[in-house]
Amino acid sequence: MSDVGRRFRSLFVCGSLTVTFVAGAVARSQDAKPGATAWDGVYTVEQAERGRALYMDVCAACHGKDLRGDSTAPSLIEESFSFQWDGTTVGELFTRIRMFMPSDRPNSLSSQRYRDIVAFILQANKFPAGERALADEAEILQQIRITAKRP
């Protein structure tokens, strides 16, 4: 094998090991089990509390302090929430909020702040808190199903 070939092979093997190690560490730190739902405690109480404060500052003017909405903004709790989000994923909810809210300046908050707001919305809908905050990887959030009824 040529010197260039050996270097390439060495870089390829090292790069593969690095990617495998990093991917494994991410999966272990914030993984969603196959078939995970919002009922599995996917956010923390602290995260939801941060989300509550942000919601009151940024969202309550339209969606109401009680999350029930008004004639122009949809309700974010109970039957209205279940009707709109049952069968979707936490990732879809996060993406929708990030892309369109606040309506006068969409995508103006950090990803962490949007995740905190999603955690608050989950808490308001009586999904239980857990030991880990919502993951910051979109792929993981896409694996967490929102189901109206506990599986």
Are 120 and 48 in contact, with CB atoms under 8 Å apart? yes
The token duo for 97 is 């909020």
Q: Are residues 46 and 118 in the same domain?
A: yes
Q: Are residues 104 and 133 in the same domain?
A: yes
**Nearest CA-CA partner of 76 in 92, 97, 57, 91:** 97
Sign of CA dihedral 132, 138, 140, 146: positive
Predicted TM-score (pTM) of the model is 0.79
Q: Are residues 109 and 39 in the same domain?
A: yes
The structural domain count of the chain equals 2
Q: Look up the domain containing 25 and give its range.
A: 1-30
One digit per residue, pLDDT tens: the chain, 151 residues? 555 454 444 444 444 333 333 334 333 334 566 789 999 999 999 999 999 999 999 999 999 999 999 989 999 999 999 999 999 999 999 999 999 999 999 999 999 999 999 999 999 999 999 999 999 999 999 999 999 988 8
Using CA atoms, how far residue 98 sits from 25, 83, 111, in Å, is: 26, 20, 8
